[in-house]
């Protein structure tokens, strides 16, 4: 295991880390702070890497693929994986007395590692991230503007609601590229071809009318998952990722119970995945949101024991790409980040936005900042600003409505500013019917494409994340700072 000793006082450093998958935390924190570990065991699989969990210790920070240590002069050290196609690159920085130990575990085949001292951490991190993107043949198509059903309709989405919103968006001249149906249309996790009782139609009924309205049809799938009640599970129990006990391994709890994941080293499962993506494409969906992808990347017992879990993940994702075709637009979500480069077009780079600022009980008292909230989404997506050469970053939806939302004006503007600063995909989920004049104005602003912004500094932070950008400053804390309200963004503010 490569290790380095830095003769530098830990009290003077900040650390920049990035968690395992889309929803895992990314942070910019004083090195001597404590990296929160999720108290609830059942959250380990769903928000983190159970094979390399956050440390839970003061001064010990774990990070995937990338790590940076920042001195007060803006210089410091940058670590970056040179390749992530078959390898998880697991960094740890450890404050020890008057020095710092840095180590890196490679889970998978040997890959080149970059570890260097630099006078400019921001520039070096960006340069190394861009190199990784090039080495893995990143796909970075033009960003899209997406309407997604999840954050208003959740699992109760209907065919009628999709069409109603698409018609209203067209009538209002809203510049969406894609209308994307999310979770709720399917009978069960894994049984994608059978509609749910409430949907009021079949997923294949939607693309025709959407095309006529001028929108590209998009569809959500959690292709690696199977619920224990699904036909997929009943008919192909032998395709499931297993635990040491030989039983299918639960990889999370959602949809009212535990769920399982496909073993993507099994040829039967791989063929089924190819077929699934081709079927969705055949229904008329060239845009696929592929969610809960982490399920195929967890530690477990696989059909082919020679295949490591990063490689197994990539085989599953490759099968989906092969089925969907080279010109399909694939958005990864709940997905290992660097390991997806070159196969996805876009990637969720933070937890879900929600129509409220924070859920402090879960974040602070349960040590879990992977749950839905505006604050968690900003915190993590902003702290991954350098990932745009890997894929189009998707920091999740804007919330422009005032009804059915607890966000205040400042908080709505902060979410909008996150979209502008990240400079990737644009998404909204607001029922168009709920938007009045100011709501529509904000939505139009949120749909205006921008280029990614750069941090002004990593030596300051207002809330433990990257908050000081060249276009303006975020205050993610609950207290007012000079010139900045709590939960806010101020454009042009460099105070
Ligand atoms: C659909 C949703 C939306 C959303 C995705 C994802 O850890 N969890 O329990 C957890 C549940 C749902 C979730 C994220 C995490 O949301 O990010 O956009 O598609 O699935 O079910």
Q: Is the pLDDT of residue 494 over 90?
A: no
Q: Is residue 76 part of a domain?
A: yes
Q: Is 352 in the pocket of ligand 1 (CB under 6 A)?
A: yes
Q: Whose CA is nearest to atom 12 of ligand 1?
A: 254
E strand intervals along 35-87: 60-64, 66-70, 76-81
State the residue range of the domain holding 113: 3-136
Same domain, 49 and 96: yes
Q: How confident is the model at residue 41 (pLDDT cuts 50, 70, 90)?
A: confident
Rounded Cα gap, residues 434 and 419, in angstroms: 21
**Dihedral angle over CA of 138, 443, 352, 294, nearest 10:** -30
Same domain, 192 and 44: no
Q: What's the average model confidence in pLDDT over 390-401? A: 98
Q: Is the pLDDT of residue 495 over 80?
A: no
Q: Whose CA is nearest to atom 17 of ligand 1?
A: 352
Q: Using N-to-C axis directions, what is the helix angle for 374-382 and 409-422, rounded to 10°?
A: 30
Q: Active-site residues: which are they? A: 291, 352
Which residue out of 24, 254, 293 has the highest number of ligand 1 atoms within 8 Å of its CB and is therefore the one to mutate? Answer: 254
Same domain, 96 and 34: yes
Q: Is 254 in the pocket of ligand 1 (CB under 6 A)?
A: yes
**Helix, strand, or coil here: 71?**
coil
Q: What's the average model confidence in pLDDT over 160-165? A: 98
Q: Which residues pair with 331 in a beta bridge?
A: 289, 346
Last residue of a domain, one of 136, 165, 196: 136
Q: What's the average model confidence in pLDDT over 346-360? A: 97
Q: Is residue 97 part of a domain?
A: yes
pLDDT at 40: 87
Q: What's the average model confidence in pLDDT over 125-129? A: 98
Q: Whose CA is nearest to atom 3 of ligand 1?
A: 150
Q: Is the pLDDT of residue 13 over 90?
A: yes
Residues 6+ apart with CB under 8 A from 360: none
Number of separate domains in the chain: 2
Last residue of a domain, one of 93, 110, 136: 136
Rounded Cα gap, residues 85 and 216, in angstroms: 30
Rounded Cα gap, residues 339 and 360, in angstroms: 31
Structure tokens at 80: 């970056």
Which residue out of 291, 349, 355, 396 has the highest number of ligand 1 atoms within 8 Å of its CB and is therefore the one to mutate? Answer: 291
Q: Is residue 338 part of a domain?
A: yes
Beta carbons of 219 and 289 less than 8 angstroms apart: yes
Q: Is residue 414 part of a domain?
A: no
Q: Is residue 197 part of a domain?
A: yes
Q: How confident is the model at residue 43 (pLDDT cuts 50, 70, 90)?
A: confident
pLDDT at 304: 98
Q: Is 46 in the pocket of ligand 1 (CB under 6 A)?
A: yes
pLDDT at 42: 82
Q: Which residues pair with 30 in a beta bridge?
A: 14
The CATH number of residue 323's host domain is 3.20.20.70
Q: Is residue 160 part of a domain?
A: yes
pLDDT at 121: 99
pTM listed for this prediction? 0.98
Q: Is residue 44 part of a domain?
A: yes
Same domain, 242 and 338: yes
Q: Is 155 left (phi over 0), alpha (psi -120 to 50) or beta?
A: alpha
Same domain, 130 and 279: no
Rounded Cα gap, residues 180 and 333, in angstroms: 14
Last residue of a domain, one of 360, 394, 428: 394
Q: Residue 430 CA to chain centroid, in angstroms?
A: 20
Same domain, 159 and 125: no
pLDDT at 50: 95
E strand intervals along 31-109: 60-64, 66-70, 76-81, 88-96, 99-107
Q: Is the pLDDT of residue 162 over 90?
A: yes
Q: Which residues pair with 220 in a beta bridge?
A: 289
pLDDT tens string 132-145 = 999 999 999 999 99
Q: Is residue 258 part of a domain?
A: yes
Structure tokens at 264: 């993507």
Same domain, 70 and 129: yes
Residue 211: phi, psi to the nearest 5?
-60, -40
pLDDT tens string 267-277 = 999 999 999 99
Same domain, 158 and 96: no
pLDDT at 333: 98
Q: What's the average model confidence in pLDDT over 95-107? A: 98
Same domain, 21 and 69: yes
Q: Is the pLDDT of residue 377 over 80?
A: yes
pLDDT at 384: 99
Same domain, 114 and 7: yes
Q: Is the pLDDT of residue 441 over 90?
A: yes
Same domain, 196 and 100: no
Q: Is the pLDDT of residue 106 over 90?
A: yes
Rounded Cα gap, residues 491 and 184, in angstroms: 38
Angle at alpha carbon of residue 109, lines to 17 and 51, rounded to 5°: 45
**Helix, strand, or coil here: 195?**
strand
pLDDT tens string 67-95 = 999 999 999 999 999 999 999 999 999 99
| % the chain with pLDDT above 70 | 100
Same domain, 36 and 101: yes
pLDDT tens string 167-209 = 999 999 999 999 999 999 999 999 999 999 999 999 999 999 9
Which residue out of 333, 354, 369, 371 has the highest number of ligand 1 atoms within 8 Å of its CB and is therefore the one to mutate? Answer: 333
Structure tokens at 473: 């400053």
């Amino acid at each position: 295991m490569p290790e380095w000793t830095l003769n530098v006082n830990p009290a003077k450093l900040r650390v920049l880390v990035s968690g395992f998958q889309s929803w895992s935390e990314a942070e910019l924190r004083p090195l001597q702070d404590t990296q929160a570990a999720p108290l609830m065991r059942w959250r380990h699989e769903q928000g983190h890497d159970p094979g390399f969990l956050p440390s839970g210790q003061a001064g010990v920070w774990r990070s995937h693929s990338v790590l940076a240590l920042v001195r007060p002069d803006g210089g410091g050290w940058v670590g970056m994986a040179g390749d992530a196609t078959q390898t998880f690159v697991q960094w740890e920085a450890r404050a020890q007395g008057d020095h710092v130990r840095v180590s890196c575990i490679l889970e998978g085949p040997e890959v080149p590692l970059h570890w260097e001292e630099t006078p400019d951490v921001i520039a070096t991190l960006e340069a190394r991230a861009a190199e990784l993107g090039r080495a893995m043949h990143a796909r970075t198509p033009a960003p899209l503007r997406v309407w997604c059903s999840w954050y208003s309709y959740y699992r109760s989405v209907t065919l009628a609601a999709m069409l109603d919103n698409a018609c209203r968006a067209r009538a209002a001249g809203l510049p969406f590229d894609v209308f994307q149906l999310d979770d709720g249309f399917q009978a069960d996790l894994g049984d994608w071809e059978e509609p749910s009782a409430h949907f009021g139609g079949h997923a294949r009924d939607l693309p025709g009318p959407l095309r006529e309205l001028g929108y590209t049809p998009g569809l959500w799938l959690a292709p690696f998952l199977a619920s224990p009640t699904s036909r997929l599970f009943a008919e192909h129990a032998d395709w499931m990722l297993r635990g040491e006990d030989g039983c299918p391994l639960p990889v999370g709890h959602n949809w009212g119970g535990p769920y399982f994941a496909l073993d993507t080293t099994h040829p039967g499962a791989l063929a089924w995945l190819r077929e699934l993506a081709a079927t969705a494409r055949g229904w008329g969906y060239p845009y696929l949101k592929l969610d809960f992808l982490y399920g195929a990347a967890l530690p477990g017992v696989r059909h082919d024991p020679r295949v490591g879990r990063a490689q197994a993940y990539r085989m599953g994702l490759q099968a989906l790409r092969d089925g969907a075709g080279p010109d399909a637009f694939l958005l990864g979500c709940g997905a290992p980040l660097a390991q997806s480069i070159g196969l996805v077009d876009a990637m969720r780079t933070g937890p879900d936005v929600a129509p409220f600022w924070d859920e402090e009980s879960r974040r602070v008292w349960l040590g879990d900042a992977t749950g839905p909230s505006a604050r968690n989404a900003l915190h993590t997506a902003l702290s991954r600003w350098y990932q745009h050469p890997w894929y189009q970053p998707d920091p999740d939806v804007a919330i422009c409505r005032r009804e059915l939302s607890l966000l205040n004006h400042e908080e709505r503007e902060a979410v909008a500013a996150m979209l502008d600063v990240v400079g990737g995909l644009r998404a909204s989920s607001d029922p168009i019917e709920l938007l009045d004049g100011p709501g529509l104005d904000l939505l139009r602003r949120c749909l205006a494409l921008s280029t990614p912004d750069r941090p002004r500094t990593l030596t300051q932070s207002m809330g433990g994340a990257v908050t000081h950008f060249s276009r303006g400053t975020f205050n993610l804390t609950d207290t007012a700072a000079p010139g900045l309200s709590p939960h806010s963004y101020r454009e042009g503010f460099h105070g």
